[in-house]
Amino acid sequence: MSDWQPTASLANLKLRAELLTKLRVFFAARQVLEVDTPALSRAGATDRHIHSFRVEAAGGPYYLHTSPEFPMKRLLAAGYGDVWQLCKVFRDGEVGRRHNPEFSLLEWYRLGFDHHRLVGEVAELIGLLVPKLAGEPEYLAYREAFQAHAGLDPFTARPTDCAAAMKSAGRHPPAEAELDRDGWLDLLAGDLVYPALGKGRLTFIYDYPESQAALARVRSGSPPMAERFEAFVDGVELANGFHELADAAEQRRRFEAERAWRKAHGLMAVPLDERLIAALEQGLPECSGVALGLDRLVMIAAGARSIEEVLAFPSDRA
């Protein structure tokens, strides 16, 4: 067997180790507690775009976590204060130049922060770990990004408008009836908008549509806005953050809506996290949190073109 050797160079693994040391110093200086939560969970990801690995075991089934978010929020509700974690997470079907089914996710939560304040800390950490990104970031509202790179307003665009935008960019859109509104926005974002972001610098997108709030709070207005942000460099998404939703009833409603969508589209049914709901009912403190893909950040720091260049053993050599 010839594929026993690592795919990452020694230089890239040394660089990875240096970044890990720096990020631990970063959080220690801010008195953010490093924690460790289980990789196996009784609950799976209900998100329509994220798919859990199911594990059959004594007392199971279990699901490999796709993020440490839910147990970390349980720590917040229990009064443990600011916390951070670096761990391996697992997402089925994610294989490619920038994807591996098992990858390293850095996640942290800050009490008393809204999403805008957390954006500043994310920029500071990324600038520390990748000095070429230490300059002033670009900040764009979701609407501004779509207007600049897709030529339409995502809050008012109809499927016909989205299809026209795809055609004018030389793409071949699906039939209009094949996608719902968020499906069209996701298609435009992935094909036209996100690849154009963060050219040579860090770019943050904020103020997402209410329907894309995920686990973020929604700010009332016309239209309502999800208090969520994402970070991009050279068209690559690095981080996804929220001003965290603390309403247990609303969180349950969103989970159930996602489970219904998954069922209607023939995806694996997963139990929702009742322990998270119980923690929210107890009371989640005012906070914001963010998840950052460490492997992608190491790629940028190393100038790598593939995630395999910064992983010792990717999935096909595991």
Tell me the β-bridge partners of 139: 204
For residues 224-246, one letter each, b for 16 or more C-beta atoms within 10 angstroms of the residue's C-beta and e for the rest, the string is ebbbbbbbbbeebbbbbbbbbbb
Closest CA to 8 of 315, 236, 314, 318: 314
Helical H runs in the chain? 10-29, 69-77, 115-129, 142-149, 159-168, 181-188, 248-264, 274-282, 294-302
Q: Coil, helix or strand for 97?
A: coil
pLDDT for residue 2? 79
> pLDDT tens, position by position, for the chain (318 residues)?
779 999 999 999 999 999 999 999 999 999 999 999 999 999 999 998 899 999 998 887 999 999 999 999 999 999 999 999 999 999 998 788 899 999 999 999 999 999 999 999 999 999 999 999 999 999 999 999 999 999 999 999 998 999 999 999 999 888 877 888 889 999 999 999 999 999 989 999 999 999 999 999 999 999 999 999 999 999 999 999 999 999 999 999 999 999 999 999 999 999 999 999 999 999 999 999 999 999 999 999 999 999 999 999 999 999
Domain boundaries, the chain: 10-136+242-317
Q: How many CB atoms lie within 10 A of CB 27?
A: 19
C-alpha 190/C-alpha 172 separation (Å) is: 14
Q: Show the CA angle centred on residue 129, arms to residues 76 and 291, nearest 5°.
A: 30
CB 298 within 8 A of CB 308: no
Distances (CA, A) of 190 to 29, 193, 196, 205: 37, 6, 10, 14
Closest CA to 152 of 175, 191, 183, 185: 185
Q: Which pair of tokens denotes residue 59?
A: 């007392």
Run of H or E residues at 94: none
Q: Which pair of tokens denotes residue 15?
A: 């660089």
Assigned architecture for domain 10-136+242-317: 2-Layer Sandwich (3.30)
Strand 53-55: give its sheet, edge to edge.
40-41, 62-64, 53-55
